[in-house]
Structures are given as structure tokens and as C-alpha cells.
Amino acid sequence: MALIKDILQTMEYGPSPESNDHIIAWLGQHEVGFGHFIDGKFTDPAVGASFEVTNPANGAALARVALGTADDVDRAVAAAARAFKSWSKLSGHERARHLYALARHIQKRDRFLAVLESMDNGKPIRESRDIDIPLVARHFYHHAGWAELIESEMPGHQPVGVCGQIIPWNFPLLMLAWKIAPALAAGNTVVLKPAEQTPLTALAFAEICREAGLPDGVVNIVTGEGETGAALVGHPGVGKIAFTGSTEVGRIIRRATAGSGKKLSLELGGKSPFIVFDDADLDSAVEGLVDAIWFNQGEVCCAGSRLLVQEGIAEKLYAKLRARMQTLRVGDPLDKSTDIGAVVSTEQLERIGSLVAKGKQEGADVFQPSIPMPAKGCFFLPTLMTGVAPASTVATVEIFGPVLVAMTFRTPDEAVALANNTRFGLAASVWSENINRSLDVAARIKAGVVWINATNLFDAAAGFGGYRESGFGREGGREGLYEYLVPDHGKPAKGKQAARPVLNAAPSSMTAVAVSSDAIDRTAKLYVGGKQARPDSGYSYAVVSPAGKTAGQAGLGNRKDIRNAVEAAAMAGNWGAATAHNRAQILYYIAENLSARAAEFEARLRSMTGASAKDAATEVAASIRRTFFYAGFADKHDGAVHSTKSRHVTLAMNEPFGIMGLVCPDEAPLLGFVSLVMPTLAAGNRVIAVPSARYPLAATDFYQLLDTSDVPAGVVSIVTGETSGLARMLAEHDEVAALWDFGSAGGTGPVETASAGNLKPVWGGGMRDWASPDSQGREFLRRATQVKNIWVPYGE
Ligand code: NAI
Ligand code: MG
């Protein structure tokens, strides 16, 4: 008999399986298969094609599920549209009660849902039980609160309508909750398509909706593959698409929704850095790494998959990490002592394997612990790759598996440079005992979420979402709710954008003429890097007033000019780092100078547009007021401290995008320009503005104000020319991080398509009344910033 002493020595784990009897029984009741959940009822599973859902840990078939067609999507959207009429009319309180009921029912069935999730996805029961499902309930509780509060907290907003939601397989029920809870709270109805690999908890949730008495049609679930998702994306009855998944499909969806007027939020991939400084608590950092990359088999969009470690401690950290890896337990997801379960599918397993092979080929040292592995099923050993070159495949692409790649750095600057050396920008984790250093690095990393001395923390009260090719939009928190609301004044006509009159097409007079020396005093040049610049083309065009008189000449800008402007903006990076007070002062200065030259600008508007003296004076006065307004707001677009977990404060910082493109409207050549430039500057962005092609001269006169108001060189560049073409060049430019297009003739469709490259957010649309109070305010500041959530350890 083994002595207690010996047992304590080895501390072998015995099997500790979670029972799945009631899941087997439930699946048995659905032996014939699952239909779609449409209008509060399950469709007949025997009708139409279906596919099999398997357990990746053992290959066992779990269920057959309907393969959604365009017809199924159509019926689901129709049901959601019918339900929207009454659901959106309910009081916030009534909707709150429904969300609260959903939360209660989820909690009552938490064990059932956790086991089902682990069987469907392969994730360890410890995680589905302790992380996924509690967070699911938390999201519904949190948003029950929002349902109650939206009316008072977000006045002047309304729901979008029917939301199409497409989710991946890595956190099936949690992603459902992140999508459905805010949508319903805001008064929308939804059609959700779960991932083909993991549809079962969504179907269980459909039953819960029925049980909890949710009105028919408010939630509809259509199962299926990519094509089913594409049908949902393309459906004209859908007002918003929310997608989580691969960057590749994100791009397809960006293009597919371009010009449709659909709201869009994309939560895509990542290659998030996990930065360890030499003063970090290394043992904590090792546990952090376990949670960063071996949580959920590394199938986490914000996984800390790129370890950046300060050179002097690298070997020490790797040694600790290898020792820890030796104690990880890979195996049965339903065993309560399993650390790493099964990867979701054989395709995913092969993908991970081939990427690791590629890393080896590219010269990385690959370490895998010698630990027991299940004989069958989709399992992959935890893997550490060191000696990885920053430009190698494994250091740049998302592996989406339990594979950590490591690189070293010497200085904090180098750490930041490496951290940002990626097309993604979802999350980052910073480990240091030095608070100054941690917060400094957190501020400089381009990512939507930064955890200090922690990793993979989530909460319904905090926004989650990416910078750059990790997508746009936030889920969770106050910032996430706006994704499901539209301002009362800005609701686009159903399915399409309000058309912009042809007014803004290239004026017929826009024939290029060479910039001749005798015309030089009448030719407004471009303004790039704080200086007037001749257009690269060497051509200008005549600006003709409605009465047919030539009001002046403007430069015909081209791609080279846009590139120069972006380059100049890139060098003016300290604008965003200037204090908000500084920016306010400069905006006041601009307003003051505009005021001093009001008569000149009025005369310009009159000669260029034929406006009456009164109208011209009104537009100039409104432009001065608007500049004052944003000067006043520059230091008041505050972030927030979200009430998340205890022992953390979560700082929601409003950060500028960096370089923004602004395409200005014709309706109000001066006020429109000011209405776009001032909020973006106030928020700390550098801008490249394309003035109205028809009436560019009020904007070009603005150079002189910029020159005399201490605006640093490169912070504002102005490129005149053919609007739609320049807009597209801005959309295509990788360094332009966000684009507002209120000027292209055909609406924002073409620039939305062109923006799919770096997935920049695009905002804009049809004609609006620029003099109205709706054309200024928080909406503009919100669109000029992205929220970075920084989780800082705090308190007891
Ligand atoms: P995916 O992006 O193809 O699938 C995600 C969801 O989109 C699924 O519901 C799928 O049916 C749907 N979908 C696919 N094509 C669509 C289309 N054309 N229109 C509308 N919906 C469509 O991701 P997949 O193929 O499962 O995984 C591939 C890689 O993507 C992974 O290896 C990983 O790197 C990344 N990924 C990232 C996720 C994240 O959370 N950021 C989640 C899942 C995958
Ligand atoms: Mg795919």
C-alpha cells in the first residue's frame, strides 16, 4: 500500500470527470436533429439539409443541425422585423425584466450549459464552468440594467432595428451573450448565426428564451455555415451586422455591407503582446502566461500569443515557463483537473500543426513538454517557440492554438516598437512592478485592451474590441451600447443611405489647367506639412460660382499629395500627446483669428457660392461658435473608470485614432469643414482634409488661420481636388486610421469598400444641416476616438 508520504510526494491526480448524463439525455430528445429557432418556435428538423456536430475530444457525433439557407434567413429576419415593432415600444423597464429573466434562467441551468459547451467546443469544464457561463449570466444582468437606463442615460437615441449577428466557435455562448444582451437592451431584435462547429449552446439558449417568456421573434437563431452568414450579411432587412471571427471574413463583410447603410462592428483576430520587464514578478508572469496562451487552448482572439521579454531575464523566464509547462494537464475536457482540452476541429488542429512546422523551418527553437496526451481526439501539446524573428510567420500570423512565440527586447522603447509591430491591435499585457513604466507602455501600445500584471480579464462593464485590423466597435460597457443605437436625427432610410445630390460630383469646370505663373496669386495651393505646396500634378482647376464667374483656382491633388500629407501627419505625432488644455488653447486661437477675418471669409463665401450677405455672415458666425465649442470640449471628452472586478480599476480612455481623413461637404463649405476638422483636432487627431471640390476656397483660405494660430506643422493638411477620388485614396492608405466621408457623391459605399484593407472605421453619409445642433457634440467626439480599456490592479 502506498504511504501517505509517497502520495504527497507525487500528488498524482485521479480522474475527476464531470457527469454529462443530462446532456446525453437532452441530445437524445433531439435525436432527429435541431431545426432553426424562428419566431419563438423550432422549425422542423426533417426539412432541408443538415450537418453533423461532433465532440472534438473524441470525435463522437453529438447532434444534427439544420443548414440554414437564404430562405431560412429571410424568414428569421421577417420574424425579427415583426417582433421589433412591439419590442422596441416596450418601456426600458419591461425589457429589463425580460433580460433579468434570461439571466436568472441561465444561472439556473449553468451546469447544464457548461457541460454542453465543453462537449461541443472541447474546452475544459473548469473554464466553461468558472469563466464562460458566469460571464454569460453577468452580461445579461448588466444589460438588464442598461435596458432600464438607456432612456435617461442616452437620450436622443433609438434602436437600429433587426441586428444580424455572426459568432465564432471559441466562446460560443459567451459571444452570443456579448451580442444578444446589448442588442435587446437597446430595443433591437436579432437573428444570430452560431459557428458551424459549435451551435449547441445557442440552441439551448433558444429553449431558455422560450422558458423565460421572451416574446416570439425577438431572438432568432439560424444555424449554418459561412454561406448562411453571408445571406444574413446581405439581407436588406438587417440594419446592423455584428461579427466576431477571422480578419479574412471581416474584410469580406466590410465589402459586402459597403454602401448599404448597415451599421457594422467587427471583432477580429489578434497577435497580442505579453510584455515582461526585468523588474516583473516572474512567477506571477509565468502564471499569467498560462492564462494568456493556454486558456481555452489558445483559441482566444486576445490570447497573449507573442511573449516579449527583456533580454536580461529571458533565459530565466523561459526556464520557469518550461518547468511550468511540464505540469500542465492536457486531456478530457470534462475532467475537472484538465488544464488544456481539445482544439475545436481537425482543420484547426492541422492548421496549428502546420504553423508550428513552419516556425521550426524558419529557425525557431520549439519546446513541448513530455506529458501524457490522449490517444485520440483533437489535442495539441502546449508549445513554446523561442529565438523567433519578429518578421517570421509564427510571429506575425494568428495561430489560434496553444502556441506561444517568444522574442526579446532591451529597452522599453524597443518593447513598444515590437508590441506595435503587427497589423492587429486587440489586446496587450504588461508585466512590471514599476507603475510608471507600466502605464507609460500601456498608453503607447496600439490596442483596445491593456492588462497590467494580468491577462484575459473580461467584464460586461468594460468595453472590448480592437484597433487596426483587429476590427472596430466595442462590446460591453457604455461604449458597446452605442453600437446598437442610432441618434434620432441620423437614422438612415431603411436599407440605404440618403443619396447625396450630384452637387458634389466633379464640377464640369474641373478641367485641369496648368498652374501658370500669372495665375499664381489666384491659385490656392495645397497645404501640407504646415506649408503651401504646389499640387504634384502641376495642375489646378477653376472654381466657378453658380453665376458662372471664376472665383479662383484650386490645386488638383493626387495620390502623391495624399501620401505627402500622411507623411507630414506621421511626423506630427506629438499633437495627440499634447495636453487637452494645449489643444483647447490652439482651437480658441483659431476661432479668434477667424473672428478677426470674418469679413474676408464672408466675402469669399459670397463670391464662391453666391450666398446672400446674411447667409454668409451666419455661416462664418456659426463656424466661429463651433470652433469655440470644440475648444471648450477638448479637455472634457472624459473617459471613464468602469466598475469591473474588485481589485482592478478599468480605465476607459478616449484615445485619438492618430491620422484621420476628412472629406468635407458642399452644403456649407466653411461650416462643414470646421464641423469635421475641429472635433477631430480637439480629440487629438492629425487630419488630412479634402474640402468641397465645388467650393474649396473657404477651406484654402483657412491656411492662413492655421499658420497664425500655432497649429503645429503636419497636424492639418488640406488637399483639394476631385472629391471621390481623393476620398478613395484616403480610404486605401494604411496609415490613415479612420475616415469621415461627408462629401463623396455616391455616399460612403466606395470608401467603405476601399477601407477593407486596413479595416479603418468609416463614418459619414448624406446631406445634413450643418447649422443644426445635431451637427456638433459628443457623437462627433466619439467618432473621433476609440476607447482603450486599461485594467490596473487596485485595492484590496
Ligand atoms: P471564420 O471567420 O470563417 O468564422 C467565424 C464565423 O463567421 C462563423 O460563424 C462562420 O460560419 C461565419 N462565416 C464564415 N464565412 C462567412 C461569410 N463569408 N459571411 C458571413 N459569415 C461567415 O473563422 P474560422 O474559419 O472558423 O477560423 C479561421 C481562423 O480565424 C482561426 O484559425 C482563427 O485564426 C481566426 N478566428 C478568430 C476568431 C476571433 O475570435 N477573433 C474566432 C474564430 C476564428
Ligand atoms: Mg472560415
Active site residue 267: yes
Q: Which atom of ligand 1 is nearest to the CA of 256?
A: 19
Ligand 1 binding pocket mutation candidate from 246, 254, 293 (most atoms within 8 A of CB): 246
Q: Return the pLDDT at 5.
A: 81
Q: Which of 117, 127, 267, 602 is catalytic?
A: 267
Amino acid code (one letter) for 517: S
* % of the chain surpassing 90 pLDDT: 89
The 10s digit of each residue's pLDDT in 448-483 is 999 999 999 999 999 999 999 999 999 998 999 999
Please tell me the number of the ligand nearest to residue 400's CA.
1
Q: Return the pLDDT at 497.
A: 42
The 10s digit of each residue's pLDDT in 649-702 is 999 999 999 999 999 999 999 999 999 999 999 999 999 999 999 999 999 999
Whether residue 499 has pLDDT greater than 50:
no
252 lines ligand 1 (CB under 6 A): yes
Q: What is the end-to-end Cα distance of the chain in Å, rounded?
A: 46
521 pLDDT tier (thresholds 50, 70, 90): low
504 pLDDT tier (thresholds 50, 70, 90): very low
Please tell me the number of the ligand nearest to residue 246's CA.
1
The 10s digit of each residue's pLDDT in 357-380 is 999 999 999 999 999 999 999 999
* Verdict on whether the full-model pTM lies above 0.85: yes
Q: Is 724 exposed, middle or buried (0-12, 13-18, 19+ CB in 10 A)?
A: buried
Average pLDDT of 615-642? 97
Q: Return the pLDDT at 496.
A: 41
505 pLDDT tier (thresholds 50, 70, 90): very low
Q: How far is CA 655 from CA 424, 448, 509, in A?
A: 17, 10, 41
507 pLDDT tier (thresholds 50, 70, 90): very low
Whether residue 780 has pLDDT greater than 80:
yes
Q: Is 155 exposed, middle or buried (0-12, 13-18, 19+ CB in 10 A)?
A: exposed
Cell of 128: 466553461
3 state DSSP class of 33: coil
Whether residue 547 has pLDDT greater than 90:
no
Q: Return the pLDDT at 12.
A: 75
The 10s digit of each residue's pLDDT in 249-283 is 999 999 999 999 999 999 999 999 999 999 999 99
- Sheet of strand 539-544: strand arrangement: 513-514, 539-544, 550-555, 523-524
Q: Return the pLDDT at 491.
A: 59
754 pLDDT tier (thresholds 50, 70, 90): very high
Whether residue 500 has pLDDT greater than 50:
no
Active site residue 302: no
Q: How far apart are CA 576 and CA 587, in angstroms?
A: 14
More confident: 79 or 646:
79
424 lines ligand 1 (CB under 6 A): no
Residue with CA nearest ligand 1 atom 10: 226
Ligand 1 binding pocket mutation candidate from 67, 121, 228, 249 (most atoms within 8 A of CB): 249
Ligand 1 center to 52 CA (angstroms): 18
Q: Return the pLDDT at 398.
A: 97
Q: Return the pLDDT at 513.
A: 62
Q: Which of 117, 148, 196, 301 is catalytic?
A: 301
* % of the chain surpassing 70 pLDDT: 96
Are 524 and 494 spatial neighbours (Cβ–Cβ below 8 Å)?
no
Average pLDDT of 104-118? 98
